[in-house]
Structure 1
């Protein structure tokens, strides 16, 4: 049993110092469902990218405007130590080709790491975007044609949840839009090239009961497994995993 668990790709998961204790188990559960395993990272905790096969930059409080040249919002709750850790990890993951999934603020941090900017009050900039705050799938987003997100989920629209106030403004280098809501607000970003790098503005960990959202974790774990085999595996195993990663159709 222990050997089987060790064979699962290991994913580093960044969390808030305040709320990570309740969020991490849910993310870890999603990873376990699709064949991965998670390890919790955060400010003050060891975080070594050489020890993992992939990375999730998790959700949480707002990102400090100093990181993207924005203006502070009065009610914002900030975690500067977490910001510093996640920016370093995101930049390293993008540079080194480590598979990475950004969730909510994690998607925003991916954009910053690639040189992009954020909107501090996204709904003021996008008044036609429906402002909801719920873990239930109450918002509809349109998935971009020919995007990795479309290939992964197999859907041209998705019902998602929403807990954010910030959102992507100017795209970072090497990124493209993967989805927008009805008001034009960016809801997903992704790398224009391999390896796997995807950020979603919603919280798929709360939507594990919907297959399209589980596929986000499936895709991350598959990419992490491929990287693991490139480092430690054999050619036959690498070919099998690479075949599984190819889009159907």
Structure 2
């Protein structure tokens, strides 16, 4: 067995390859071994030491008791896979990082809801929709004292990217909101009773040129190392 913990990374069966490559690189730099998780494989049996739920298309609204948007693109199979892993990871204390759509899946899997549209709910939501805007635009988030995300990033506020058009509404059971934008949009959620169960609305895989964002992946892999060592001790 490799010394590198295996980090399962969810993605759609087709597409989102750039985001997956960026996450996989961040995992490797942190000392982990990335393992792709898609609906085209036996994903329930994947032997992983940590989990990353990646970004992508919208969560199917009936999962949180809302109507689907006509002509919207949904990936029902991926929803099933990621809901399973979000709940399994939480029940087994598997170190988990959820990114953008992943954070929304994490919340819905815990019984929470989403805002399908930000307009009319929040002010100051003139976020970019072009590729240059997604690459360059930054907004400030404020993090809660004592939270995992603040401990990792090392300060009360940071600037992050903006590649989303939905947001967390009602928070899921036993999850807590630990970062928001100034307009109230949720940017991080956690389960403080778990070793590492963190969802972020922004995309740290595209911010790894900054040391503080690489620490998110460092801490996930470190938690996976510790969990693996604990498991080995209990079995010996």
* Cα displacement (A) at 1:233: 4.7
Q: Name the counterpart of 1:238.
A: none
Task: Count residues in correspondence.
Answer: 231
Which structure 2 residues correspond to residues 100-111 of structure 1 after superposition, within 5 A?
Answer: 100-111=96-107
Task: Work out the CA distance in 2 between the residues paired with 1:116 and 1:215.
Answer: 28
Asked if the contact 2:128–2:137 (Cα under 8 Å) also holds between the matched residues in 1, the reply is: no
TM-score scaled to structure 1, two decimals? Answer: 0.87
Change (3 A) 1:159 1:137: farther
* Structure 2 Cα separation of the partners of residues 140 and 205 of structure 1: 17
Contact 1:64–1:79 (CA under 8 A) maintained in structure 2? yes
Q: Judge conservation of contact 1:64–1:83 (CA < 8 Å) in 2.
A: yes
Counterpart Cα distance in 1 of 2:25 and 2:100: 18
- State the match for 2:182 in structure 1: 182
Within a 5 Å distance, the mapping from 1:70-219 to structure 2 comes to: 70-74=66-70, 76-133=72-129, 134-136=134-136, 138-219=138-219
| C-alpha distance after superposition, 1:191-242 (max 9, x if no partner) | 12122100000111011101121111111111111111111258xxxxxxxx
Does structure 2 retain, via aligned residues, the 8 Å contact 1:129–1:185? Answer: no
Could you tell me how far 1:123 is from its partner in structure 2?
3.6
Q: 5+ residue gaps in structure 1?
A: 235-249
- The 3 A distance-change label for structure 1 pair 49 and 93 is farther
Partner of 1:222: 222
* 2:161 counterpart SS class: strand
Q: Quick one: which of 31, 48, 52 aligns to 2:48?
A: 52
Output the CA distance in 2 between the equivalents of 1:72 and 1:177.
25
| Cα-Cα RMSD | 1.9
The aligned residue for residue 36 of structure 2 is: 40
Residue 43 of structure 1 deviates from its aligned partner by 1.2
Does structure 2 conserve the Cα–Cα contact (< 8 Å) formed by 1:129 and 1:182?
Answer: no
Tell me if structure 2 keeps the 8 A contact 1:140–1:159: yes
Gaps of 5+ in 2: none
1:15 and 2:23 equivalent?
no
- State the distance in 1 between where 2:120 and 2:33 align: 38
Instruction: Give 1:49 shift.
Output: 6.0
Whether the 8 Å CA contact 1:155–1:212 is kept in 2: the answer is: no
* Alignment TM-score, normalising by the size of structure 2: 0.91
